[in-house]
Structure formats: structure tokens, C-alpha cells
Amino acid sequence: MNILRFINSKDIREHLKKLDYQFNSLETAWLIYQCREATIEEKHKAWEELIGTMPDCEITKRFNTAPQPSLHDFLKKFMELEDRFITQFLEDNHGDTYADDKPYVYQFEFLYPDGSKMEWHTPFSKVSEYKNLLDPQEPVKAIQCRKYRIDRVDYMMDYALFTPELKFLRIEPIRIKDKKENEIFNDVFEGLWFEFPTPFKKGDIVWNPDMPSSENLCAGPLVLTGVCLEDITRENTRENIRRNGDITDMRYAGYFFSEDSDIFGGGIYGEGAWTYMDLEYYEKELTGAARVLTALSAYLKGEIDEGLYARAYHQILMEEYAKRCMPRDYWSEGLRLAGLEPDRS
């Protein structure tokens, strides 16, 4: 099995390939689970191959992980549940005892490669209606779909993500009444934790390509300060995470850029997010006030001293603030006469 194809980050994928990293059965199962691009059908084929070719193992109890005596048996049950939930999602009149069997409707949101979205607020009676909304000229990457009872939109809502060809990428039922089934579906994969090698170092400028816009918290490029356990100094804390950490502890930390400022042209803030397995090097050019990340990167790598970093940070933000303050309700001639624009004659 080419498990590397299920790793979201191209840079981590190449790094592990160079290391000839040998994945165990549980690591392989989790990497298949968390892959953003693979469809559920592709994941099931990969899990079936895992069951047929890789050793079985126990999934031990963790703080947020329900123990399983057999990984192979767990995967079979998980796949059965996903298949059933997809079938139920596609049933136009599917209901349950909590919804009084009232009809369900579907609402769609189109996702594009650049991170933008377009939501269709109109509810439709069939999931297949999304095809009538697709414009062949638009590069729709995926479709988010919410299924809810028409008079209980804020309460009963199932969620799915699928490709324009109706290949399911994710399925999330709002309620699983059976306790054991809920444990299998929700309380195993998300409670696992892994410490994979990465190529990233303190001061690198990285990003999660699935969160491209810096308008959102912990999105866009950041200057890395640590991956996973790197910025944790207490050994007992590190060991506790190794024993009981879950997917939210597969974190990365650093300084993000935000344009949200009423005074200056933006600024940085320190924060952490997950998972580090989604990170890639940021290969685009930083422009505008976001150039402060370039200065911070050089400082954390020891390439410039704190004095030059502080002056660069101040200079870049003031330059951008000055641009924002430029009068925009005058013609260029007026700005030239006021000395705000150069005389190009």
C-alpha cells in the first residue's frame, strides 16, 4: 500500500519518504482516516487492503479513545457504519423518532480551490438537486451539504461533504442512538495521537493550505515556533501527552498575521492549532503588512538581531498604515497638487 498518498502535507509526505519511515498498522489506519482528498470509497479500499496485508493490533485506552481489542474488527465496523449513514443521508424522507418522521430537506454550499465558498440558502427536497446548480465553468472542489427537518433547522442536522461527482468525502450524522455504534464512529480515531517526524524548524514560514485566508483565526501563513512537543519544556507534560493526548494535541504553534487593526496596518499574534500533519512550507511571496512575518522568521532563525527586527516590524506596519490613510475621495491631480503623489510630468 502507498500510504504516503494519504498524507495531506506534500512536504511531510516527501520528508517521510526520504526517511523511509515504516508505518505500523494503527498509524496507517489513522492516516487513511484523516486524509482530506481521499473519498470514503477510496479509504474503504485502503482499509480492506490493510486488513488483508498488515498485522492486527489492539487499540489501547486513552483519555479520549475507547479501547478496541482488534484494529481489524474496528475498521470493519467503522466502514459498515459509514456505508449505512451514507445510505440514510441519500434517503429523501429519512427521519427518526425524535423528528416525528417529518420530511427532510438539503442545503448546499460550494467550496472552491482558493478557499472561497458560495452558499445556496434555498432548501431542496433531493440531494441530487445540487447537480442543477453546478456551473461547468466554475472549479467547484467539493460540496458541503446539510440535511435537516424542515421545521427544526437549528436542531436536527446531518452533514456531508462530497465531490461534484457525488463521491462522499465525509459523513457526519447528527445523532447515533446506539451507544456502541456512537463509540465506534466518534470515540476512537479522534482520540488517537501520533508523533511523526516533520521537516519543519523554528522560524520556518508555513501554512495549512486548507485554511488559506488570514482573515480567520489561526489561518494563513505563520512563523513556526514549535511542532507537536517541541515547545513543551516539562518532560512530565510531554509524557502525559504521549499517553493520553488526542488529535487536538497534534498541534503546532507560532505567530500568525492579522490585518484586523484600527490603528496600524495589521499585526501578529501567537496561537496554536492542529494538526501539524496538514502543514506545508509557505511558498508564496508575503506582501503588504504581512511582510512582518519575514522579519520575524529571520529573527527566530538568528539571522538578524532583535533591534533590527523591532525596527523592521515598526517600519513595515507604519508604511502600510500610511497607505491606508491616503485620501481616496480625490482625483490624482488633487493628490499631486497636495504633494501626496509625485509629479510625473
156-183 mean pLDDT: 93
Mark whether 234 and 311 lie in a shared domain: yes
Which pLDDT band holds residue 261 (cuts at 50, 70, 90)?
Answer: low
Mark whether 210 and 307 lie in a shared domain: yes
Residue 212 has pLDDT above 80, yes or no: no
Mark whether 226 and 318 lie in a shared domain: yes
Mean pLDDT taken over the chain: 90
Lowest mean pLDDT of 76-90, 195-209, 320-334, name the range: 320-334
Choose the final residue of a domain: 51, 85, 119.
85
Which pLDDT band holds residue 11 (cuts at 50, 70, 90)?
Answer: very high
For residue 196, the SS3 value is: coil
Q: 339 — alpha (psi -120 to 50), left (phi > 0) or beta?
A: left
Strand pairing category for 117-124 and 205-207? unpaired
Lowest mean pLDDT of 83-87, 235-239, 318-322, name the range: 318-322
**183, part of any domain:** no
Residue 274 has pLDDT above 70, yes or no: yes
Strand pairing category for 251-258 and 222-227? antiparallel
Mark whether 112 and 61 lie in a shared domain: no
What pLDDT does 58 receive? 98
Q: Distance between CA 184 and CA 45 in Å, rounded? A: 19
The whole-model pTM stands at 0.89
**217, part of any domain:** yes
Mark whether 33 and 53 lie in a shared domain: yes
Mark whether 159 and 259 lie in a shared domain: no
Residue 38 has pLDDT above 70, yes or no: yes
What pLDDT does 280 receive? 98
Tell me the per-residue pLDDT of 104-145, one tens digit each, with 9 for 90 and over.
889 999 999 888 899 998 989 899 999 999 988 889 999 999
211-223 mean pLDDT: 82
**190, part of any domain:** no
The domain total for the chain is 3
**282, part of any domain:** yes
Choose the final residue of a domain: 160, 177, 194.
177
Of residues 271 and 94, more confidence is placed in: 271
- Report the candidate in 138, 141, 193, 199 with the shortest Cα–Cα distance to residue 167: 141
What pLDDT does 154 receive? 52
Choose the final residue of a domain: 56, 85, 114.
85
**185, part of any domain:** no
List of residues 6+ apart from 111 with CB closer than 8 A: 117, 140, 141, 142, 143, 144
179-205 mean pLDDT: 97
Lowest mean pLDDT of 70-74, 145-149, 236-240, 327-331, name the range: 327-331
Residue 93 has pLDDT above 70, yes or no: no
**272, part of any domain:** yes
Residue 13 has pLDDT above 80, yes or no: yes
Mark whether 162 and 225 lie in a shared domain: no
CB of 217 closer than 8 Å to CB of 270: no
Mark whether 35 and 121 lie in a shared domain: no
Which pLDDT band holds residue 146 (cuts at 50, 70, 90)?
Answer: very high
Question: The domain containing residue 298 runs over which residues?
Answer: 205-325
Which pLDDT band holds residue 101 (cuts at 50, 70, 90)?
Answer: low
Mark whether 145 and 215 lie in a shared domain: no
Mark whether 53 and 152 lie in a shared domain: no
Mark whether 79 and 103 lie in a shared domain: no
**184, part of any domain:** no
Q: Distance between CA 180 and CA 73 in Å, rounded? A: 14
281-287 mean pLDDT: 95
Distances (CA, A) of 202 to 38, 222, 224, 297: 31, 11, 5, 8
**338, part of any domain:** no
Residue 197 has pLDDT above 80, yes or no: yes
What pLDDT does 272 receive? 93
The cell numbers describing 272, all together, are 496554536
Residue 76 has pLDDT above 80, yes or no: yes
What pLDDT does 153 receive? 53
The cell numbers describing 48, all together, are 480492506
What would the DSSP string read from start to end of 117-177? Answer: EEEEEEEESSGGGGGGT--TTS---EEEEEEEETT-TTT-EEEEEE-TT--EEEEE-S---
CB of 133 closer than 8 Å to CB of 124: no
What pLDDT does 95 receive? 47
Mark whether 160 and 260 lie in a shared domain: no
